[in-house]
Amino acid sequence: MVSDPPPETSGDRVPVDYKSAGVDIDAGHEAVRRIRMLARRTFSPSVISDIGSFGGLFRPDLAGVEDPVLVASADGVGTKLKVAFLANRHDTVGIDLVNHCVNDIIVQGARPLFFMDYLATGRLSPGVTEAVVGGMASACSDNKCALLGGETAEMPGFYADGEYDLAGFIVGLVDRARLVDGQRIQAGDVLIGLPSTGLHTNGYSLARHILFDVLKLTVESTPAELDGAVGDVLLRPHRSYLPVVGPVLDDGQIKIKGLAHVTGGGLTDNVPRVFPEGVAAEIDCRSWTPAPIFRFLQEQGHLSVAEAYRTFNMGIGMVVVSAPEDATALISAFEKAGELEAVIIGQTTHGDGTITYI
């Protein structure tokens, strides 16, 4: 048994503790209790530890995998969190975080095994933490991925009260023979666009500037040009493309040459990331209709085409590269799996990796 030493006082000085300095250990324990219940719902037989362990234990099932390759990624939600703070809505940003990370590894053919999170805040609120982690747990379940563990840090004086930051870390697995690496892409291949649900998790600093600083809107504003209140439109969750792309990769009958997740840098910077040397692309902006938020931001912000397509996903969240003869079958398979409208948005050309918009 450990007993407290008698407090040392000097004059009128009042003894202090960790809670008076801004860190509530009891609130932290309550948050972990709530998180444990949420995370356990995502556990598979491969998880052999519990939330609260110093490290998460995961024993992967390698049956049928001849040459296993681990694929890992880390990301955050960015300043989309500022919108969540304004709207006092915290149930979607965890979904954003998981789905973004899942998409970052599915583009190389990997299936997610487990996910871990880092949540840092100025003053811990178990209710907010539960809402955020609840979103993560829901997305992990949807993506058949275990929420293996994480860290919740209370950092008074570093973050403002009521604000927090998020980061996610994911590990997936792919058989080396099924890696999608883009090396077979060549001029004349087809680019297929899979629609986004909105801004996803990129471009929010510019979007917030246009909407809140320039136009003086609030999260409750409902401009006629948009299909909902500003806050609702901005907080639409980042789509996971695993349910759409995964079945095609599993089937293996229709070949996907490359996959690009359209995140920061938009189509302009992300699509060339999967090209081998000597390949560029032309994208026809007329081949799809972006959601109203993109046109609204472009018009109200007086954004050039170059600026808009390098900042936002402009309605395309994933780009698939295939041979021309496989495009029709792929589009049909994607639409059947994901109940979405896939469309040919361009083609590859000879070049230095640049994107030309027509």
pLDDT at residue 16 in the model: 55
Which stretches of the chain score pLDDT less than 50?
21
Q: What per-residue confidence (pLDDT) applies to 312?
A: 97
Map the chain to HEC letters: CCCCCCCCCCCCCCCCCCCCCCCCHHHHHHHHHHHHHHHHCCCCCCECCCCCCCCCCECCCCCCCCCEEEEEEEEECCCHHHHHHHHCCCCCHHHHHHHHHHHHHHCCCCEEEEEEEEEEECCCCHHHHHHHHHHHHHHHHHCCCEEEEEEEEECECCECCCCEEEEEEEEEEEEHHHCCCCCCCCCCCEEEEEECCCCCCCCHHHHHHHHHHHCCCCCCCCCCCCCCCHHHHHCCCCCCCHHHHHHHHHHCCCCCCEEEECCCCHHHHHHHHHCCCCEEEEECHHHCCCCHHHHHHHHHCCCCHHHHHHHCCCCEEEEEEECHHHHHHHHHHHHHHHCCCCEEEEEEEECCCCEEEC
Q: Any idea which fold 25-59+66-178 has?
A: 60s Ribosomal Protein L30; Chain: A; (3.30.1330)
pLDDT at 124: 85
- Indicate the pTM of the whole model: 0.90
Looking at residue 35, what is its pLDDT? 76
CATH of 190-357, one of 3.20.130.10, 3.30.565.10, 1.20.5.510, 3.90.650.10: 3.90.650.10
What was the pLDDT predicted at 254?
A: 84
Where do the domains of the chain lie? Answer: 25-59+66-178, 190-357
Q: What is the pLDDT of residues 4-54, one digit of tens each?
A: 665 555 556 656 555 554 555 556 667 677 778 788 888 889 999 888 788
Q: According to the model, what pLDDT value does residue 252 have?
A: 82
